């Protein structure tokens, strides 16, 4: 009986994944047909805004270029930890810039954890991500990344998060993916928080990382880069 249930769950999970792939491919194709002659224009850039809220210094970004510069600067200045969770991570100049910066951080002794979505980057060559240093803890999240039968509604989506936490107190979160297109020709919004609010972003990354690395899943499925230590990501204590 149990084997039949598991078999049905597996088939259902595969069907759910196939539906996602077909829908995504169809939408991309349709968009390409409808806008094949459209003129490329720079996205509107209302500016970058800064404010202080209690103990938190907040910056709101509407330009990918400015956002990436500040993210890279934060990683470059990291002293002990960097955690990054990405959805789309393109193999272009901007994507390479992040790869190089993360590698440099790891090489100077910073503990770096990276999670990125497998489905969103199906068209990106795997060799691009293989450039990441062996010193970096890396997980490529699969299309169906958790046990589907434990929660069909919860476990059929993809990881759409874009979060970066540096040294436990600098956090970036928002809508910008990583890529040259998003630097200048994409209108989105991202927020940087310097202060206690970064703790919540770190908790979100640690929860996903540790869920992947629970004992029952340490057999290292295809999402786990060979050689990557299957360690628990221990978040800091909540700021008082």
pLDDT tens by residue, 197-232? 999 999 999 998 888 776 544 444 435 454 444 456
Based on the fold, state whether residues 168 and 59 are members of the same structural domain: yes
The whole model's pTM is what? 0.77
Q: Are residues 101 and 145 in the same domain?
A: yes
pLDDT, tens digit, for every residue of 6-18?
454 455 545 555 5
Query: What pLDDT, in 10s, does the model give residues 23-62?
Result: 555 545 655 565 566 666 776 778 899 999 999 999 999 9
Range of the domain at 3: 1-31
Would residue 141 count as lying in a domain? yes
How many folded domains does the chain comprise?
A: 2
Please indicate, yes or no, whether residues 85 and 23 belong to a single structural domain of this protein.
Answer: no
**236 within some domain:** no
- On whether the CB atoms of residues 163 and 204 are closer than 8 A, the answer is yes
Give strand ranges (E) for 66-189. Answer: 81-86, 111-117, 137-141, 163-166, 170-174
**Residues 151 and 117 sit within 8 Å (Cβ to Cβ):** no
Max CA-CA distance within the chain? 60
Same domain, residue pair 19 and 81: no
At 181, list the tokens: 């297109």
Asked if residue 80 lies in contact with residue 111, where contact means CB atoms within 8 angstroms, the answer is: yes
* Mean pLDDT of the region 131-156: 72
**CATH number, domain with residue 72:** 3.30.870.10
CA distance 232 to 116: 17
Predicted confidence (pLDDT) at residue 63 exceeds the cutoff of 70: yes
Q: Give mean pLDDT, residues 130-137.
A: 96
61 and 22 in a single domain? The answer is: no
Does some domain include residue 182? Answer: yes
Whether 104 and 201 map to the same domain: the answer is: yes
Query: Considering the domain boundaries, does residue 227 fall inside one?
Result: no
Contacts (Cβ under 8 Å, ≥6 apart) of 228: 136, 137, 138, 139
Residue 91 has pLDDT above 80, yes or no: yes
Residues 161 and 179: their CA atoms lie apart, in Å, by 15
Average pLDDT for the chain: 80
For the chain, the first-to-last Cα distance in angstroms comes to 51
In this structure, the answer to whether residues 69 and 188 fall within a common structural domain is yes
């Amino acid at each position: 009986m149990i084997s039949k249930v598991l078999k049905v769950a597996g088939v259902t999970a595969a069907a759910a994944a196939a539906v996602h792939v077909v829908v995504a491919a169809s939408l991309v194709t349709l968009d390409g047909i409808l806008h094949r002659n459209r003129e490329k224009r720079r996205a509107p850039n209302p500016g970058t805004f800064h404010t202080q809220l209690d103990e938190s210094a907040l910056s709101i970004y509407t330009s990918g270029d400015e956002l990436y510069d500040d993210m890279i600067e934060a990683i470059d200045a990291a002293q002990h930890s960097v955690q990054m969770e990405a959805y789309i991570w393109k193999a272009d100049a901007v994507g390479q810039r992040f790869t190089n910066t993360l590698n440099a951080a790891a090489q100077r002794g910073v503990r770096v954890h990276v999670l990125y979505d497998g489905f969103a980057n199906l068209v990106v060559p795997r060799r691009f991500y293989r450039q990441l240093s062996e010193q970096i803890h890396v997980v490529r999240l699969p299309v169906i990344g958790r046990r589907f039968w434990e929660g069909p509604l919860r476990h059929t989506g993809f990881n759409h998060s874009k979060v970066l936490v540096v040294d436990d107190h600098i956090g970036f979160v928002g809508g910008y993916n990583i890529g040259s297109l998003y630097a200048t020709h994409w209108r989105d919004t991202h927020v940087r928080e310097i202060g206690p609010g970064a703790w919540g972003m770190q908790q979100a990354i640690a929860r996903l990382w540790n869920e992947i690395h629970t004992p029952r899943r340490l057999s290292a499925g295809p999402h786990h880069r060979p050689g990557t230590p299957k360690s628990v990501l221990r978040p800091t204590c909540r700021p008082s």
